[in-house]
A and B are shown apart, each in its own frame.
Chain A
Amino acid sequence: MICSLALRGAVKHWKRSLVTAGAVAVSCAVMIAIGSLLNGVNSSFLESVVPNSGHVRIESADADKAANPLGLSTLVADADGAVEAIRTQGDPRIGAVEKLLSFGAILVEDTSGPDPRNLAMRGIGVASDTRFADNARYGLVEGGFLPGGEGICLSQAAARLVGARLGGTVLVLVQDRSSQPWYESLKVTGIFRTESRDFDETTFYIAEPRAAEMLDVPGSAREIRLLLAKPDAAREVARSVAASLAVSMAGGSGRLLVQPWQEINASIVGLLVFVNVMLGIIMALFAVVAGTIIANSSLMSVMERLQEYGTMRAIGLRARSLGKLILLEEAINSLVGALVGMALGSVVVSLLMRNGLDLGGMMESLGLSRYNRPRVDVLWYAGCAVASVAVCLVATGRAARAVGSRSVAESLVTAA
């Protein structure tokens, strides 16, 4: 009977029900949309940026202090030895170990004309079967990614700027270890496109052995990256690798810095924490606003229906049961609102997934995609719905207490 009364009350007083359901729906939808966006940013970071930068990175301890971050004076001199030492260590947590050699270069149009086009870029020497360089490997629009370790893989934008095309050649001009200029004509074997224009216009890939040969730094690398089976173990693995290298590389050329991904991406982690907190605050504000609207709406609703409630109590309904009736009615409204909110949130999320949300160039500079796409998490949807209903019930509790605390006579007199 109480359920039936609550349901009929919600239908009869549909305007009030609409206010409650609307407030719940909006707050639920906002929480779903913001939460999914946050989930998208976090996932993008954890699944793209973190593995792409390596869960653990080893580089020269002097790399940070170098005036030219692409200079050859701050390489890991005996990178091959370090890689061998790590592999010998046989740590089962380490999935892959790989050398990367980044360097400064000028890409020059391979033409016999008088004024060849050129572009100052950053070359990255990687293994042809690299586990990194995801954005280029997955963004290939023509050719392959350094097939057989041959050629050069550059972006569509760079190819356009230097007049290169797939199968054609381009000149790569570098300065080797002894500051002598060196150039090679490389065949364009792959063309990629990423979401970052900056990246596309500044980065190309060649095979790591070819890069070492051109730069005359055999066995060296800019950095060594480790991929782990469980990224959470990065700090422990970094400590273990550092200890191992300190022994095996003692007396070697230069100190090494071993960092877990949390330290490598400290600025992004900090920014993400900030973004998470800010969006969390926005979600909380929405919940508070929705709660206030619902609380006031409920209070007005019960005050308008004081005679009805007073009559029920006069007939013999206990105050506690009346409170349950009021809460049940609002629970029905909030459930409807939560369902509508989930549907609304899904529409917003699917629109954002299709188009992405442009978060500006700052995200690119951090290695994240400029266009954030939300990530759907069913648990989060359910959590938002439950939270919205809970906010509604807490807000309605005030109204229920207000009615319950009045005497029956007061309720009837007030109504009269």
Chain B
Amino acid sequence: MEHRQHHDILEVKGVTKEYHLGKTVIEALRGVDLAVAPGDFVSIVGPSGCGKTTLLNIIGCIDKPTSGAVILDGVDVSTFDDNREADTRLARIGFIFQSFNLVGVLDVRENIEFPLILAKVPKAERKARVDYLVDLVGLADFVGHKPDELSGGQRQRVAIARALVNKPSLVIADEPTANLDSATSLVIMEAMRRLNEEEKVTFIFSTHNELIEKYAKRILSIKDGRITGERRVAAAEALA
């Protein structure tokens, strides 16, 4: 494990990932280097199968790289065992999934509260934090609803609140608008951008939607497991 003074919240160094399908080796990532600063809003774009999800999974400690290092808050998390990975995900990373992935038996409040319970946060603090977040994502009137009683956009807003509830260093969103219609997608992206600007939450999200990618401050292009380009998005372009 490596502890360093560092400005970047995330550093990805020479990360490769190989999958073995019988005798066939599939190289999903071929030496990815990446640095993300606090408060960044990064979009990873590219065609299907280019390695976006694999990269996000490795950054999010839900998959291990074949080689290379992932340094989160100055600590190399790629060498962690299962339990430390779980603890890291709980404390430092928030996830937003394409298909929302809410726990069906829990209502909105409980879904958002779930990570706080895992982190053994006291009840009063949990209540305050959840109340704040349901207001922030505009779901105060739906706290008692189960996921299957909500629209797609509402579900994704619950997922955003859940991702933010433990005040993570980084929020990872894998195609967060892929299952939403255009209008709802824009609402979700607006919400994420507002959180980035007002709450200084660091986001990394993947998409192959050109309209969505422009919400980011930085766009990283990925192709065949390699980052092939990076550009910064002007505020005017994003709002256009």
Contacts and interface: CB of A to CB of B under 8 A. Distances in A.
Interface string A1-31: 1000100110110000000000000000000
Given A311-B97, A318-B83, A5 B106 contact: yes
A370 interface: no
A267 B89 CA distance: 69
Interface stretch (B6-14, B114-122, B201-209): B114-122
Interface stretch (B56-64, B68-76, B188-196, B224-232): B56-64
Given A5-B106, A8-B105, A308-B104, A315 B90 contact: yes
B41 interface: no
A316 interface: yes
B175 to A, nearest CB: 11
A416 B48 CA distance: 14
A5 B103 contact: yes
Given A407-B63, A408-B63, A412-B97, A316 B105 contact: no
B82 interface: yes
A307 B99 CA distance: 10
Nearest to A320: B83
A316 B83 contact: no
B101 to A, nearest CB: 4
Given A1-B117, A319-B82, A416 B60 contact: no
Contacts of B62: 313-314, 407-409, 412
A385 B193 CA distance: 56
Contacts of A416: 98-99
B180 to A, nearest CB: 16
Interface string B109-130: 0000011011100000000000
B87 interface: yes
B40 to A, nearest CB: 21
Contact of A319 (B86, B90, B101): B86
A49 B233 CA distance: 96
A311 B60 CA distance: 12
Interface string A397-412: 0000000000111001
Given A315-B162, A319-B83, A409-B57, 7 more contacts: A307-B101, A308-B104, A313-B62, A407-B62, A408-B62, A412-B101, A416-B99
Interface of A: 1, 5, 8-9, 11-12, 307-308, 310-320, 407-409, 412, 416
Interface of B: 57, 60, 62-64, 82-83, 86-87, 89-91, 95, 97-99, 101-106, 114-115, 117-119, 162, 166
